[in-house]
Amino acid sequence: MKPTLFVLAAGMGSRYGGLKQLDGLGPNGETIMDYSIFDAIRAGFGKIVFVIRRDFEQDFRDKVLSKYEGHIPTELVFQAIDDLPEGFVCPADRVKPWGTNHAVLMGKNVINEPFCVINADDFYGRDAFAVMGKWLSELPEGAKNDYSMVGFRVCNTLSENGSVARGVCGKDEQGNLTTVVERTEIMRIDGVVSYKDEEANWVGIEENTPVSMNMWGFTPDYFAYSEDFFKEFLKNNIDKPKAEFFIPLMVDKLISEGTATVKVLDTNAKWFGVTYAADRQATVDKIQELVNAGDYPNKLF
């Protein structure tokens, strides 16, 4: 069974502004998402599922889904802050979405095969999709509790225009994930890749330290674990207006209690994206370089 690509496209880029998922950056107005879909198709994925906000639906169908007709099957699911388990009511003053793992839960009724989760606005690169597609497609039928994450080398994920937030990963001798610690400020300090710790001190790390760019490989059993834990999360956090149910929170629970393993898949791909408005032109230039090198056709779809 071919794996599915699950694209998280319900958010807006607060630091960049606007619906950057639809910003044309390629030579023919291609979005970063278009390159992810193209890479996924050639890596053997068989279906694309997007999670978006419902008020964005018509725009998304017209500007995005229409491009992929005839190339790969697509489906839409919707994230809403009032979509909560029975017995829970969204507080009236809640504005912030419930986080990335809540968005993942929206796919539970349409995804029945191994799947990869990505952000809509990150350029992951051809090798990252090839590595993940191979891993997912080689899982035995009915596999459970055996997950993966593409571990980008931190030196390949920095912005020249400011700090970035990354999940800094630890792994054991078997290459399985042991920890993911979200570091909200990572950048080069005097030439050394460093993160700011809880005491506001800069801590240097190795150039090839794996970091999470939210590119995860799961099997459908992950949805049931997420449903159960989301109820626990809500009991403790429903009245906290900024609390979010993140993927690393769920993954950390599963690996710390021994329920699941998460293989860290290495990639030499260079991540890039538009974290800041000033990143936009550099991203356009990098895509053009890849097109000129023959990694991508001049027109994708």
Tens of pLDDT along 170-228? Answer: 999 999 999 988 898 999 999 999 999 999 999 999 999 999 999 999 999 999 999 99
pLDDT for 15: 43
pLDDT for 58: 84
Contact yes or no for 254/225 (Cβ under 8 A): yes
Q: Is the confidence at residue 16, as pLDDT, over 50?
A: no
Q: What angle do CA 144, 114, 45 make, to 5 degrees?
A: 160
pLDDT digit string, tens, across residues 137-157: 999 999 999 999 999 999 999
